[in-house]
Amino acid sequence: MPMRYYLVVLLLFAGLSLQAGVGGQLRQAGKLYANEQYGQALSAYEQALQKDPQNAKAAFGAGAAAYQLKDYQQAQQAFESVSHEKNQLGQDALFNLGNTLYRAGQQDPAIAAYRQAIIQDPQDKEAIHNLQLILQQKGKQQNQNDQNNQNQNKDSKNNDQQDQQNNQGQAPQQQENQQQEQPQQPQNQQNQLDKQAADRVMQLARDNEYKRPSQPGNSGQDETVEKDW
């Protein structure tokens, strides 16, 4: 998806009514951007913004440079600050904002940005193309998700039917085994209780008294663990 930068470059070199210091900074930034020196261009645009924080052209250029550096968060902030402009620069900022959000994996906000760009300029073929592309991708993803859910439901249903068949086949044998084990269960439990009681009696005889709970402060070291908030 192409970035729109040509307008800023033309405006910069046209020398429109800008303050001398900011204008020179913008012209330098434009040359750096044209030479694909995006990091230096971004620094130059940021310096221009320090002198004139409301300069939409400097913000737009900073967004374009940040986009080229794949710093989509900074690019998003820059384009959003320009997107409210009621002119061609604002419309281009909306288009670039859509690109930025798309690259950042935010499909729905990207769709909204493209739509706003098309509302401002219904003849914007690039925005229309990108919007159609992302909607097609989203539709394919939804169809794939629906297909996966159908396959999962089908597999789950087949597994349930298989489990039901297995349970029906094993039920008579399991019931027979349970019937055979039932008479032995009370006797086994009783034997275990008798053994535990005998062990306890032998232990009491050795200790000659019940052990008392340890008192607070008797242990040598506190082994409790606290969360590091």
Instruction: Output the DSSP codes for 30-80.
Output: HHHHHTT-HHHHHHHHHHHHHH-TT-HHHHHHHHHHHHHTT-HHHHHHHHH
Sorted by where each begins, the domain ranges of the chain are: 6-137
User: Which residues, 6 or more positions from 85, have their beta carbon under 8 angstroms from its beta carbon?
Assistant: 56, 93
Which pLDDT band, with edges at 50, 70 and 90, does 193 fall under?
Answer: low
Q: What angle do CA 80, 27, 117 make, to 5 degrees?
A: 25
* Mean pLDDT of all residues belonging to the chain: 77
Distances (CA, A) of 199 to 194, 196, 204, 210: 9, 5, 9, 14
Q: 88-103 vs 125-181: helix axis angle to the nearest 10?
A: 30
Collapsing DSSP to helix, strand or coil, 86 comes out as: coil
The Cα 223–Cα 220 span in angstroms is 9
Is the confidence at residue 186, as pLDDT, over 80?
A: no
Instruction: Report pTM.
Output: 0.61
Query: What letter would DSSP give residue 141?
Result: H
* Integer Cα distance of 110 and 132 in angstroms: 12
Fold adopted by 6-137: 1.25.40
Tell me the pLDDT tens digit for each residue of 135-156.
999 999 889 888 888 888 877 7
Give me the percent of the chain exceeding a pLDDT of 70. 64
